[in-house]
Amino acid sequence: MAGNGFNIRAVQDGFAGEVTGIDICKPLTRDIVNAIERGMDQYAVLTFPDQPLTDEEQVAFTANFGELEITLAGQMAKPEERRFQQLELGDISNFNGADTTRLRARDDKRRMYALANRLWHSDASFRPIGAGYTLLHSRIVPSKGADTQFADMRAAYDALSAAEKQEVEGLICEHSIVFSREQIGFGEYNPGFEEHLKPVPHRLVFTHPKTGRKSLYLSSHIGGIVGWPVPEARAFLRDLMEHATQPQFVYSHKWQVNEMVIWDNRTVMHRATRFDDLKEVRDLRRTSLKGTGLEVRLPAMAAE
Ligand code: OGA
Ligand code: MN
């Protein structure tokens, strides 16, 4: 038992859970941290309502689960374009950088870049090691829209036929931020980041190191499959994406203020949904961790 009152209530069967009975603004015992990790392995998405965290508390809470990552968006932004100078803290808002009296203009480049969050994706899958957990905390939520949706890639894998499971096993996909952005017609990257734009390989089937459960490591950042002609790979991936995002695999999260949501990018995809971002404010803070078990062993290397 993790202690006094800690409880996880299933929000959507076996997929999302709501955690109550703890105060995540304060330092946590190892028991509680372990209980949250076990909850993440079981559910893949956990929500923590009524947690009025400060930025510092969010960073401290995140550090319980591993080493914090710096987002590519944060890295690429010029200092004067950034809202937070601490790069581990991602600005998921529509404010005009540090100027919180203004919203981003319709054609603002940062707005264009962030609009790709509306595509189903797994965070940082365009990196050699993608993100493990992402932690998103809400400060201001608009009056309507702006839900975050999650798709359970374990259930999507389980629902494949035996023949399909055999077909996806061993496939290596190529992920790049360029592939997801080009789907919405965005291609303006600051110079000096060419290395970060190159495709990286990831196995399509992820095996969870603790539970042994398999899932589909899908993401809109994927633009090809190693050894496949590009059109064939993209047509195949479209079918697989359509399969994996059917309503029975999806949980739509409606945000309350001061809510923390954690998801495991290795086992779920997610996407933002629309809201009136030219008129209403939405302010969330994001932290994320490197995903363990995502190291790629290419078939040629694995044979050694
Ligand atoms: C993210 C993300 C979704 C949202 O922060 O990585 O995809 O609803 N956010 O803001
Ligand atoms: Mn994301």
Q: Which 3-state string (H, E, C) describes 127-138?
A: CCCCEEEEEEEE
Q: Greater confidence, 141 or 77?
A: 141
Asked whether 241 and 218 are in contact (CB, 8 A), the reply is yes
pLDDT in tens, 69-106: 998 888 888 888 889 989 999 999 999 999 999 999 99
Asked whether 221 and 126 are in contact (CB, 8 A), the reply is yes
Other Cβ atoms closer than 10 A to 188: 8
pLDDT value of residue 297: 65
C-alpha distances out from residue 121 to 177, 183, 241, Å:
10, 12, 10
Other Cβ atoms closer than 10 A to 57: 16
Ligand 1 center–CA 272 separation, angstroms: 5
- Cβ of residue 270 lying under 6 Å from some atom of ligand 1: yes
- Cβ of residue 268 lying under 6 Å from some atom of ligand 1: no
User: Helix, strand or coil for residue 256?
Assistant: coil
Residue written as token pair 């969050």: 117
pLDDT value of residue 293: 86
Other Cβ atoms closer than 10 A to 124: 26
pLDDT in tens, 2-35: 567 999 999 988 899 999 999 999 999 999 999 9
Checking DSSP bridges between strand 16-20 and strand 45-48, what pairing results, if any? parallel
Q: What angle do CA 70, 71, 73 make, to 5 degrees?
A: 135
pLDDT value of residue 300: 54
Q: What angle do CA 53, 58, 63 make, to 5 degrees?
A: 150
Residue 302: band (very low, low, confident or very high) from pLDDT cuts 50, 70, 90: very low
Q: Greater confidence, 55 or 193?
A: 55
Nearest atom, ligand 1, residue 123 CA = 6
- Cβ of residue 137 lying under 6 Å from some atom of ligand 1: no
Token reading at 187: 């291609």
pLDDT in tens, 246-267: 999 999 999 999 999 999 999 9
Q: Which residues of 221-253 are buried (b: 16+ CB within 10 A; e: fewer)?
A: bbbbbeebeeeebbeebeebbebbbeeebbbeb
Where along the chain do its domains lie?
Answer: 7-292
CA–CA distance, 71 with 167 (Å, rounded to integer): 33
Strands (E) across 36-130 are located at 45-48, 90-93, 95-96, 99-103
Which of 84, 126, 250, 284 to mutate to test ligand 1, by most ligand atoms within 8 A of the CB atom? 284
Q: Greater confidence, 271 or 300?
A: 271
CATH code for 7-292? 3.60.130.10
Nearest atom, ligand 1, residue 272 CA = 8
pLDDT at position 301 over 80: no
Ligand 1 center–CA 273 separation, angstroms: 9
pLDDT at position 295 over 90: no
Ligand 1, atom 7: nearest CA belongs to which residue?
A: 117
